[in-house]
Amino acid sequence: MLYGTTSRGGASGNGTIFQITPSGALTTLHSFSGTDGANAFAGLVQAANGMLYGTTTEGGAYNAGTIYAIGLSGAFTPLYSFDITDGLNPYGALVEGANGNFYGTTNRGGASVYGTVFRITATGTLTLLDSFDSTDGAQPSGGLVKGTHGDFYGTTADGGADFYGYGTVFQIAPTGTLTTLHSFDRAGGAAPLGGLVQGTDGNFYGTTNGGGAGEYGTVFRLSMGLGPLVKTLPAFGKVGAAVKILGTDLTGATSVTFNGTPAAFTILFPTAIQTTVPSGASTGTVQVVTPSGTIASNMLFQVL
């Protein structure tokens, strides 16, 4: 099944969570009432426990946005309502850390009202990790991405070292230590509204909404010296399910394992391996042994 959100509509006009089959049969699992959230701008993330987690930009106890969990069959649980002290209007999706907690950003609110970075447990205990003060960024509208070494990376659409505030790229540890990695200066881009992705070469990639030579936006790469990684398509499956593994250079691969369980495989291209989920596999990282070393996935593969 595929799962998604709508920002409006539904029984109360505040948006919905839906399930749809690959052939197009749609089921509305939940209609937001306003008190439990409204305007589900971001998508959902499936956690290692099988539940789906998401945010709404509005609604909740203070009309500042919410965090919720929902089961695959539609059992809905409100987890948290934001207020101005811990953030307002989370636009980006959540990301799950190695510790089972979730991390995200709010567009506004916090100590200086420029947005926040937060951590929340699967049961709804929220910890404020950082409040942006404009010099280190302001108004993050994209979510976070987890790097292969465990830290998280994101962008802010405003603020930074430039006087006019063209946005930043930042790194934050799971414990909350934030480092501004880059302040945009318009020539190299301005207002990165989306988040980042980590490529299989280990570098991070993103876009800006404006700036650059033609003032129409840019595409950029950020190198943190991290090693290569592999990604699985899809990121979940039952034993026997077909899985593709993507990488930068998989030529000469000698081993594929799912959380330590060996799997048969075929090298399709230097950048792709075809395999199946082996019997006895459990949820965890996928590893590929190549002549240049062992390369692991940056996300857990979920064995269903």
Tens digit of each residue's pLDDT (9 = 90 or more) over 64-73 = 999 999 999 9
Rounded mean pLDDT, 153-182: 96
Taking residues 169-173, report their average pLDDT. 97
Predicted pLDDT of residue 98: 81
CA gap 101, 124 in Å, rounded: 10
pLDDT in tens, 174-220: 999 999 999 999 999 999 999 999 999 999 999 999 999 999 999 99
Cα gap 90→109, rounded to integer Å = 10
> Over the chain, what is the mean pLDDT?
95
CA dist 35 and 62 (Å) reads 9
Q: Is 115 left (phi over 0), alpha (psi -120 to 50) or beta?
A: left
Structural contact between residues 275 and 297, judged by C-beta atoms closer than 8 angstroms: no
For residue 150, what pLDDT is reported?
87
Report residue 63's pLDDT band, with 50, 70 and 90 as the boundaries: very high
Write down the CATH superfamily of domain 231-303.
Immunoglobulins (2.60.40.10)
**Among 32, 29, 43, which residue's Cα sits nearest to residue 8?**
32
Q: How far is residue 295's CA from residue 104's CA, in Å, rounded to a whole number?
A: 27
What pLDDT, on the 0 to 100 scale, is given for residue 112? Answer: 93
For residue 220, the model assigns a pLDDT of 97
- Give CA–CA dist 83/98, Å, rounded: 27
Query: Long-range contact list for 123-127, CB < 8 A, 24+ apart?
Result: 123/79, 124/67, 124/79, 124/80, 126/67, 126/80, 126/86, 127/176
Spell out the domain ranges in the chain: 2-222, 231-303
At residue 148, the pLDDT reads: 83
Q: Give the residue from 213, 230, 227 showing the smallest Cα distance to 285.
A: 230
Report pLDDT digits (tens) over 3-27: 999 999 999 999 999 999 999 999 9
- Tell me: pLDDT of 48 over 90: no
* Residues near 219 by beta carbon (within 8 Å), at least 6 away in sequence: 205, 206, 207
Lowest-pLDDT range of 30-39, 90-99, 110-119, 267-276:
90-99
pLDDT on residue 289: 97
300 has pLDDT over 90: no
Q: Which of 295, 296, 249, 303 is nearest to 272 (CA)?
A: 249
Task: Provide the pLDDT confidence category of residue 39 given band limits of 50, 70 and 90.
Answer: very high
Q: What is the DSSP letter of 225?
A: -
Average pLDDT of the segment spanning 243-260: 96
Averaged pLDDT, 82-93: 95
pLDDT at 298 over 90: no
Flag whether pLDDT at 302 surpasses 90. Answer: no
- Would you call 125 exposed, middle or buried from its count of C-beta atoms within 10 A (0-12, 13-18, 19+)? exposed
Pick the closest to residue 94 from 109, 83, 82, 106 (CA basis): 106
Q: Note the pLDDT of residue 236.
A: 87
Contact between 241 and 277 (Cβ < 8 Å): yes
Q: First CA to last CA across the chain, in angstroms? A: 13
> What are the start-end ranges of the H helices in 57-194?
none
pLDDT of residue 49: 85
In this predicted structure, the answer to whether residue 117 has a pLDDT above a threshold of 90 is yes
The domain 2-222 is placed in CATH, from the list 3.40.50.300, 2.40.40.20, 3.30.360.10, 2.130.10.10, at 2.130.10.10
